[in-house]
Structure 1
Amino acid sequence: MKFVVSSTALLNVLQTSSKVVSNKNTLPILDNFLFDLKEGVLKITASDLETTLIGSLKVDNMEEEGLIAVPVKLMLDSLKEFSEQPLTIEANESTWEIQVSWKTGKLTIPGTSGLSYPNLPELNPESRRELDADADMLLTGINKTIFATADDELRPVMNGVYINIESQSITFVATDAHKLVKYVSPIETEIAASFILPKKPANLLRSMLGKEDESIRMEFDDKNVTFRLKSHTLICRLIEGNYPNYNAVIPSNNPNHVRVDRVELLNGIRRVAVCSNQSTNLIKMDIESSTINLTAQDLDFSVSAQESLACEYEGEAISIGFKSTFLVEILANIDTQNVVLELADSTRAGVFKPIYDEAPATDTLMLLMPMMINA
């Protein structure tokens, strides 16, 4: 294998691909990138068995094709020190030695045979589905929901983003049993399917989608999903199991409606939360005709805080407690100036919805379970 490539272009692909590599690989070969050079295109594969990312890069000058496994850390640490310049990379397929040459010097690192690198999973042709999805829509769906995913070994289905595709819409849902986010976007498709995308590949996809300006091809079956981007292909194993019936926990009859400036409420909660109990992070909200009164206290340290905010309120006076860290997460992930909080009573979940000046095509709903208020 021998080729010439831009140092910056190669480093960009390697840095993106390296996010897949695990610190605790069960197979030593997975501590390597797989370099596969064919027809002037270098394919760089990184995997942790669950998730695989393949980056493609056109080389400037190819003299000899080849396949070799390249150590991740050594290659990255070496390339980080280069300014933009052409590099000549040559691999000896009898000794597996890799030589990187540039105008003023060269370095040699040990490689290994790429033949033992795990094969890519193949989709079942009988259950295989495909869909062309807008990159911005996918990015927004993941951004809106991923913060609400759980880290629960006993309920792995809640450790990812649930994606439900129907004829007129695509729904993204995430929940950790305390908070829930549901984001619905319109889409025209002839398929009806759903799957649970794990958190790690969802984060990887999120980091790459911002650079995409074309639609993304999604291909999936019951076990795996493939996302085909402009210069990368992401393949990951789906979380198996049935996602909870999230619609059943969203309260439908909420007679109490609070309309408030989102930024003012968010900043007020952050100020008051400094004095909340460190173990519970409880903030109490007393809501009446035109005022939200926020209070927090920690009796162990004799600290307390209180702040009153103006609001528009329809309903009976109500007192309800929420975990401040969850409140901050929810309000920080809503992008409108004003928000409406719908409440039934102090024991049922509060529903947060953004308020738009014009009717949006998308629908966002965030739900937060209350906490007990100690009398």
Structure 2
Amino acid sequence: MKFVVSSTELLKHLNAISKVISNKNTLPILDNFLFHISENKITITASDLETTLISSVVPERVEGEGYIAIPSKILTDTLKEFAEQPLTFQVDLEKCGIEILSETGKFSIVGQDGQDYPELPKLQESQLSIQVGHDVLLHGIEKTIYATADDELRPVMNGVFVEFSQNNVNFVATDAHKLVRYQRKDLTCDFDASFVLPKKPASLLKGILPKEEFDVTMKFDDYNAVFEMSDYYMVCRLVEGKYPPYNSVIPKNNPNLVTVDRLDFYNTLKRVSVFANQASNLVKLDIRKNEMIISAQDVDYAISGVERVACNNEGAEIEIGFKSTFLLEILNNLDASEIRLELCDPSRAGLILPSEDEFDHENILTLLMPMMVGV
């Protein structure tokens, strides 16, 4: 079996799918790319059993067809060193030997029998399907993935919760300290359903979707989800378990509405947080009528910082503490020029959201749990 393919085109697709491959694979064959060579297409698969990503390349020439597993690291490391040129792959399917012929040299690799590569999981007949704009899916992941947890005891928190209804679609993530809900009202469907997308496939989609130009077909059942894109096909195992009732923790009718310039708030917070205790990262917000006094101190090192930033407070004066790293993360992931803090009292969660939604069809809400402010 023999095929000729562009070195840079092949490397581009291998780089995109190689992020699936784990450093701790339970099956040695998963350290390989699976190549399926057919008459007019090379289909390449990478998997860690939980997530499988497939791409395809159009070769310049093909002789024969079959399956071969090629070691991923040595193949990608080799291709990185080539300038753009056609490469000829000669494959001995019986001995699993691969020879790569360039304009000036020959390189030999030993692969494995492609028939030993794990099969793709199949969706149940009860699967659901929906067409989603690539930008909707991308923004939903981008706006929420940073708030996912790394909790072995509660794996359901380690992914993005995707919730479909007849009115909208919600993307939600929380680590029990912060929560983000990104809502799109321009995407509806005729059924109510939800699933938890693990962090790894969500990160893979975040890298692939910016190159996509067409809608993504999503299919899912109780155990797996499939994402069909123009150049890529991904199958991933979903996180099993019931997602916490996130709506019940979002406080309503908060009396303190504080409007502040996001960049001013963010930059001030970055400077002041340098002086926070490294263990707690506590910063205090002393919110008055027309200004917010941001302060932090580390008693152990006798250092402190305080700075004022202009704001508009439609409520009583309030002093509340937050973990600076979480607050900075939230502010960095909001796009609005002005944000609104909705606060009730120093012991209850605060809401941080754009002062005005940029588009009528989307809405983003973030919640952050406070920290106790010492007397």
Deviation for aligned residue 1:191: 2.4
SS at match of 1:164: strand
Q: Which residue of 2 aligns with 1:342?
A: 342
Q: Which residue of 1 aligns with 2:283?
A: 283
1:133 has 2:169 as partner: no
Q: Which residue of 1 aligns with 2:221?
A: 221
- Alignment check: 8 A CA contact 2:169 2:188 kept: no
SS at match of 2:269: helix
Q: Which residue of 1 aligns with 2:160?
A: 161
Q: Which residue of 2 aligns with 1:89?
A: 89
AA of the residue aligned to 1:116: D
Distance 1:192 1:361 in 2: 19
Distance 2:359 2:315 in 1: 24
Distance 2:305 2:103 in 1: 64
Deviation for aligned residue 1:359: 5.3
1:275-314: per-residue Cα shift (whole Å, max 9, x none)?
0000000000000100100000000011000000110111
Deviation for aligned residue 1:262: 0.2
Instruction: Rate the CA distance shift 1:68–1:358 in 2: closer, same or farther, 3 A.
Output: closer
Deviation for aligned residue 1:104: 1.2
Gap runs ≥5 in structure 1: none
SS at match of 1:300: helix
- Alignment check: 8 A CA contact 2:33 2:72 kept: yes
Distance 1:137 1:302 in 2: 48
| Identity across the alignment (%) | 52
Equivalenced residue count is 374
1:192-239: per-residue Cα shift (whole Å, max 9, x none)?
210000000000001000000100000110000000111110110000
1:132-180: per-residue Cα shift (whole Å, max 9, x none)?
1000010000000000000000000000000001112110000000000
Q: Which residue of 1 aligns with 2:52?
A: 52
1:58-115: per-residue Cα shift (whole Å, max 9, x none)?
1111111111000011101110100111011111012111011111111111111011
Distance 2:35 2:24 in 1: 21
Distance 1:49 1:337 in 2: 43
- Alignment check: 8 A CA contact 2:39 2:64 kept: no
1:363 has 2:363 as partner: yes
Distance 1:174 1:208 in 2: 20
Distance 1:29 1:99 in 2: 19
1:173 has 2:172 as partner: yes
Instruction: Rate the CA distance shift 1:219–1:317 in 2: closer, same or farther, 3 A.
Output: same
SS at match of 2:202: helix
Q: Which residue of 1 aligns with 2:245?
A: 245
SS at match of 2:279: coil
1:38-65: per-residue Cα shift (whole Å, max 9, x none)?
1211110010000000111111111111
After superposing on structure 2, the runs of 4+ consecutive aligned residues of structure 1 that deviate more than 4 Å are none
AA of the residue aligned to 1:185: R
Q: Which residue of 2 aligns with 1:121?
A: 121
Distance 1:94 1:299 in 2: 70
AA of the residue aligned to 1:372: M
Distance 1:71 1:358 in 2: 47
Distance 2:142 2:188 in 1: 21
Q: Which residue of 2 aligns with 1:13?
A: 13
CA RMSD of aligned residues (A): 0.9
Q: TM-score, length-normalised on structure 1? A: 0.98
